[in-house]
Structure 1
Amino acid sequence: MISIITPVYNGERFIREAVSSVEAQTCENWEWIIVNDGSTDGTAEILECLDDPRIQVVHQQNLGVSAARNVGLDLAKGKYITFLDADDLLPANALSARADFLDAFPDVDIVNAGVHVTSDGKLLRRYKPDLKKGPLLERLARLEPGVFFGVLYMIRREKLGDHRFSRDLSHSEDLVFFLTLAHDAGLNYGAIRDTVYEYRLQENSAMSDVDGLESGYLGLIRLSVNMPRISDSCLTTQRQRVQRILFRSWLRIFRPDRALLALYKIRRACVNQG
């Protein structure tokens, strides 16, 4: 019934816990496609020791998270598809709660849910989804926080068609993927209160992280302005929110010069593409 897709690169510290969380699911009717994206640590050896017939391991050279997810999408056979990053966890009801919702509401194409954000086992915050059902496109384009939290969506496979993740983006590739899908497939959104995902914060370089964030959001703007089903007022809201996000992100790491440059790049992206 459910296909889970996980890209992993050098995940030997975390992948065993991810495996335990999936194998502990109350729903047992799943397949799990794990794509080892050219790991250089002990990840491959750990994956090769897995003996659950529902788990399919694919090894490839290091091509990035989007390419790895695309391999999973090409192989997935489930009625529903969801994603799990290798350093995150699924609570025991994560699959059943979302699949039951999609079974009960055939008018819903994609389901959101609650998330626990943790660090070193400590709960930092709870993400609560917007429970209002309806068209996803403009709500996602406006970057409404209640309708999107990374890749935790569960979606009907029939809605995917040949849509795949962009390999040109290192950040916001998931947002761009789902926005394109919402536009082209006219996705109807739904959500449940249940917590179905544990997102575990990892240490990253602040500078490279904001650089990637900026690149991803600029790509989102360029994409959105060329989508005819997104209204001008929605594009304006999106631009204002991206401006706030990037400006504050650069100031947080004491780079006011990059904050101002980001505002200039956003204006250029709108003018050049609009």
Structure 2
Amino acid sequence: MSSISNVTVVIPCHNDGAYIMEALNSILNQTLKADKIIIIDDGSDITTKKVLEKIICENVEVVFQVNKGVCKARNKGISLAKTKYILNLDADDYFEPTFIEKAVKYLDANKGVGVVGCFYKTLKNNKIEKEIIKPLGGGVSNFLVKSNGLGNSLFRKICWEQVSGYDEEMVHGYEDWEFWISILKNGWQMHIIQEPLFTYRIKKISRDRVAVKNYDLELREYIFKKHKQLFIDNLDSFTNQVIYRNHILRRTELKTKMSLDYRLGCLILAPLRFLKRIVS
């Protein structure tokens, strides 16, 4: 394989000074080197800025801006890229050394594929979890109910151009999901390398967690309204997926209720509920 990867890696960074070097080193240590690495500092604190200011590497560019959000940071970095392929990487996550080589090889050989992701593991409390997360990828029909891809993936810059980049209105999250929908509904496919070549860091407080807790309904409604015709055109698939997910949730709820901890909790609380009825 040529040593020219035609890849620019874009790393938005907001107050991730504790992790950015691990993320950056995971790219510098790839078996196929990126042509360019662009770090967009999105209004970080002084501690993170000091870490970024110490980065001196020939193919690494650090761009400082006031805080504008991850979508604008990514769009800024991608707009500066001059390569055919773009790899997103959040500043607190990292790739295994062979990801770029394997992903580029697949994109080069498969012209109908716009995005390449992979299986991944999670890092929690500085410990790698045993479970391997296996997104499906595929076509747009696999993305109607949830994102079946990996936010940190390699994609063709032309795909980004076709959809006018990340939706900068999505300041509260789920922008990766919407971005993949926008790309895949144009007929592109997402390929998933069936190896855990990426590690996603789970933090106590993170943008993803806040999105799920506080903005899930709002963001889902936004995606549905923006791509309403897509959901109408794929109504049967969308309905079947919703029914299946509801079925899984009901089974999980029932399993929880039947668990020993739940039953013990009910026994412990029973006297309190009895007293409450008497007092009432």
Q: TM-score, normalised by structure 2?
A: 0.77
Q: 1:95 to 1:232 in 2, by over 3 A?
A: same
Whose Rg is larger?
2
**Equivalence for 1:139:** 142
Q: 1:221 to 1:23 in 2, by over 3 A?
A: same
Superposed, 1:1-274 pairs within 5 Å as: 1-124=6-129, 125-130=131-136, 136-143=139-146, 147-149=148-150, 151-162=151-162, 163-169=164-170, 170-183=172-185, 185-204=186-205, 209-227=212-230, 230-237=233-240
Q: How far has the Cα of 1:10 moved from its partner? A: 0.7
Q: 1:245 to 1:5 in 2, by over 3 A?
A: farther
> One-letter code of the match for 1:53?
E
- Matched-pair contact (CA < 8 Å) for 1:129–1:192: no
Residue correspondences, number: 243
- Matched-pair contact (CA < 8 Å) for 1:224–1:235: no
**1:79-134 CA-partner distances (Å, limit 9, x unpaired):** 21111000101111121111111123233222121111111332222112437xx5
- Matched-pair contact (CA < 8 Å) for 2:173–2:219: yes
Unaligned runs of at least 5 residues, structure 2: 1-5, 257-280
| Matched residue SS, 2:11 | strand
The whole-number CA distance in structure 2 between the counterparts of 1:53 and 1:207 is 37
- Matched-pair contact (CA < 8 Å) for 1:6–1:84: yes
- Percent of paired sites with the same residue: 24
Q: How far has the Cα of 1:245 moved from its partner? A: 9.9
Q: How far has the Cα of 1:207 moved from its partner? A: 6.5
| Matched residue SS, 2:39 | strand
| Matched residue SS, 1:110 | strand
Q: 1:178 to 1:241 in 2, by over 3 A?
A: farther
> One-letter code of the match for 2:198?
Y
Q: How far has the Cα of 1:235 moved from its partner? A: 3.5
- Matched-pair contact (CA < 8 Å) for 1:18–1:86: yes
Q: 1:29 to 1:219 in 2, by over 3 A?
A: same
Q: 1:241 to 1:164 in 2, by over 3 A?
A: farther
Q: 1:246 to 1:59 in 2, by over 3 A?
A: farther
Q: How big is the alpha-carbon RMSD for the aligned residues of Structure 1 and Structure 2?
A: 2.8
Q: How far has the Cα of 1:204 moved from its partner? A: 1.9
- Matched-pair contact (CA < 8 Å) for 1:11–1:87: yes
Q: How far has the Cα of 1:230 moved from its partner? A: 3.6
- Matched-pair contact (CA < 8 Å) for 1:112–1:191: yes
The whole-number CA distance in structure 1 between the counterparts of 2:64 and 2:53 is 10
**Equivalence for 1:262:** none
| Matched residue SS, 2:224 | helix
| Matched residue SS, 2:215 | helix
Q: How far has the Cα of 1:239 moved from its partner? A: 5.2
Q: How far has the Cα of 1:6 moved from its partner? A: 1.1
The whole-number CA distance in structure 2 between the counterparts of 1:152 and 1:214 is 23
**1:204-225 CA-partner distances (Å, limit 9, x unpaired):** 2766641123322222222232
| Matched residue SS, 1:81 | strand
